[in-house]
């Protein structure tokens, strides 16, 4: 999980993931969305994202096409939702304790 979170910490990688979330795009098309970043740098980002499981890659001749790996992103979402759910549960318990007079606000 740490690797996925560290990978998603980068703004360019999150943008790449957004670009290929619902459609497959070629590496060149992806790179065109980043005019201030070299094609090599984007290629490195794509390779890293593929290696950690955030992207699927399909090759057609010399072309590479990428699509988001939804299953891995769902794992991150579920992990982060755990923090939210735990916090809400603690808040609920505290509110109930205050209501019963067991704790003062």
* Greater model confidence, 36 or 82: 36
- Residue 79's pLDDT band, with cuts at 50, 70 and 90, is confident
pLDDT score for 105: 57
Which domains, and CATH codes, for the chain?
2-99 (1.10.10.10)
Q: What is the distance between the alpha carbons of residues 80 and 5, in angstroms, rounded to a whole number?
A: 10
Residue 87 has pLDDT above 90, yes or no: no
Of the candidates 73, 71, 86, 81, the one whose C-alpha atom is nearest the C-alpha of residue 5 is 73
Portion of the chain with pLDDT greater than 90, in percent: 70
pTM recorded for the entire structure = 0.78
- Residue 45's pLDDT band, with cuts at 50, 70 and 90, is very high
Upper half-sphere CA count for residue 57 (Cβ side, 13 Å): 17
Give CA separation, 36 vs 12, 19, 48, 56, 98, in Å: 11, 17, 19, 25, 55
């Amino acid at each position: 999980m740490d690797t996925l979170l560290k990978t998603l910490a980068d703004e360019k990688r999150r943008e790449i993931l957004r670009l290929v979330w619902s459609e497959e795009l070629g590496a060149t098309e992806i790179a065109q969305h980043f005019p201030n970043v070299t094609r090599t740098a984007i290629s490195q980002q794509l390779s890293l994202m593929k290696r950690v499981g955030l992207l699927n890659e399909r090759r057609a001749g010399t072309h590479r096409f990428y699509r988001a790996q939804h299953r891995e992103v769902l794992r991150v979402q579920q992990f982060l939702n755990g923090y939210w759910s735990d916090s809400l549960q603690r808040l609920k318990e505290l509110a109930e304790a205050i209501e019963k007079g067991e704790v003062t606000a």
